[in-house]
Amino acid sequence: MQTGRPHYARPTPAILVSLSMLQYSIPLLLLFVCCAVTSFITTAAVKRIAEEVGAIDHPNERKQHLESTPRMGGLAIIFGFGFPLMLLAANAHAAGLVSKNLTYLFAVLASGSLIVGLGVYDDLLGSDAPKKFLVQTVAAVILVSFGFHFSEVSIAGATIQLGILGSLVSVIWIVGVINAVNFIDGIDSLATLVAITIAVAFGVIAIIRADVFSIVIMTALAGSLIGFYRWNRPPAKIFMGDSGSLFIGLLLAACSIARPIKSPTALIIGGPMLALALPVLDTLIVMKQRFVSEASLGARIVRMFNADRRHFHHILVEKYGSIGKAILSIWFITLLFAISAVLTVIDAMKIAGYSIGVAGLVVMVFFRYWFRRGDVRPAAVERQA
């Protein structure tokens, strides 16, 4: 029986949470600006310190830069990321954001400290692959133990429970993403631009999913990277070094599997996974190429982690003879994957999202393998776009 009273559809919990988060818009904006400004100012000081302590990246036959350039710029990114977070904790609304995610934040701080220490050590003294992977694995185990893990795999609507293997898959994924970001840091500003694009995509996905933790982390990361970009764009005045690329990889890995509510997290081929597609796929392709040889199994495994010029950016720079054109091409492909990632978390846009993701994959494969068929130009690259 109708009473004549109007009927209103009740908003979903996600919509309610998203609306309630509007009160945090000002603190988040302040966080973004503070991170950008702090990172920009701190980079100048880090540059001078790196020059004084001899943390200099010198040109060689494998590297693209032509002049000796200070590294350890990652310390400025890290400081620009963390210091404003501590300052804004004094704000009531910001403190509310932090208090809801103390467990996750503690896990990131603990694992991040290990990764930063590893990065600084590698920038100053150099570190071999076994030491790097040991520390990265310990950092990944810390994240997994605090809830950053997959419990099931969802493919084409079918769900597979991982059980105890979920933790192992999660550790492998985290270590893989850390190294993927590290490997793509091969030419001026490339890792910075790629990370900014992925961070923005993660931030949008977090808003859609009402994932407060990822919104805060990605806002701070995007701000600190934008502040650093002014120093890192071609010709770079400073490199982020392993201290930056490893830390960025850790944050992106963590937020790619963070869950906004206490429920099982599924490893879904979509969303954040797609945003990370370019660096992850490039790393897998290169490691496979390094593994295929007539050497012994042990030698092939060691070779997988030896540096060479097989990465996507190496191929494009050699073909174009220009760092700027290579960066633009890779950024465009990353943007396609980022847009795909955002659309796949919206039910009504999933098909469009996966279609754009497939387009990004086709473009990436075309650029990588078609260019290999042409005449590669090993001449000195241009320093400007």
CB 177 within 8 A of CB 253: yes
- Its sign, for the CA torsion 299, 304, 310, 314, is negative
Is residue 4 included in any domain, yes or no?
no
The pLDDT, as a whole number, for residue 366 is: 86
Is residue 12 included in any domain, yes or no?
no
Q: Which of 270, 305, 271 is nearest to 289 (CA)?
A: 305
70: preceding bond cis by omega (within 30 degrees): no
Terminal CA-CA length for the chain: 70
Report CA-CA distances (Å) from 21 to 18, 300, 320, 377. Answer: 5, 50, 45, 52
Is residue 130 included in any domain, yes or no?
yes
Give the H/E segment covering residue 155.
Answer: strand 152-155
Is residue 170 included in any domain, yes or no?
yes
Tens place of pLDDT per residue across the chain (385 aa): 344 433 334 444 444 445 455 666 777 888 899 999 999 999 999 999 988 887 777 665 555 555 678 888 889 999 999 888 877 766 666 666 666 667 778 888 889 999 999 988 888 887 777 888 899 999 999 999 888 887 776 655 567 777 778 888 889 999 999 988 988 887 878 899 999 999 999 999 888 887 888 888 999 999 999 999 999 988 889 999 888 999 999 999 988 887 654 444 444 455 677 888 888 888 888 877 777 766 666 666 666 666 666 777 778 877 777 788 888 988 999 999 999 999 988 888 888 988 999 999 999 888 887 755 444 444 344 333 3
- Its sign, for the CA torsion 141, 145, 146, 149, is positive
Is residue 3 included in any domain, yes or no?
no
Burial class (CB in 10 A: 0-12, 13-18, 19+), 141: middle
* Cα distance between residue 222 and residue 42, in whole Å: 16
The pLDDT, as a whole number, for residue 261 is: 47
The pLDDT, as a whole number, for residue 89 is: 66
The pLDDT, as a whole number, for residue 7 is: 39
Q: Is 157 left (phi over 0), alpha (psi -120 to 50) or beta?
A: left
Report CA-CA distances (Å) from 145 to 106, 149, 173, 319. Answer: 12, 8, 14, 45
CB 228 within 8 A of CB 76: yes
In which domain, by residue range, is 343 found? Answer: 22-58+67-373
Report CA-CA distances (Å) from 4 to 1, 10, 96. Answer: 9, 18, 41
What proportions of the chain, in percent to the nearest 5, are helix, strand and coil?
70, 5, 25
pLDDT one-digit tens code per residue, 177-212: 998 898 888 787 889 999 999 999 999 988 888 788
* Cα distance between residue 93 and residue 106, in whole Å: 19
* Cα distance between residue 232 and residue 189, in whole Å: 5
Instruction: Find where tokens 């320093």 sit.
Output: 383
Other residues' Cβ atoms within 10 Å of the Cβ of residue 106:
12
The pLDDT, as a whole number, for residue 210 is: 79
Is residue 380 included in any domain, yes or no?
no
pLDDT one-digit tens code per residue, 213-255: 888 899 999 999 999 999 998 888 999 988 899 999 999 998 8
DSSP 316-370: HHHHHSBHHHHHHHHHHHHHHHHHHHHHHTSGGGHHHHHHHHHHHHHHHHIIIII
* Cα distance between residue 39 and residue 229, in whole Å: 9
Domain count across the chain:
1
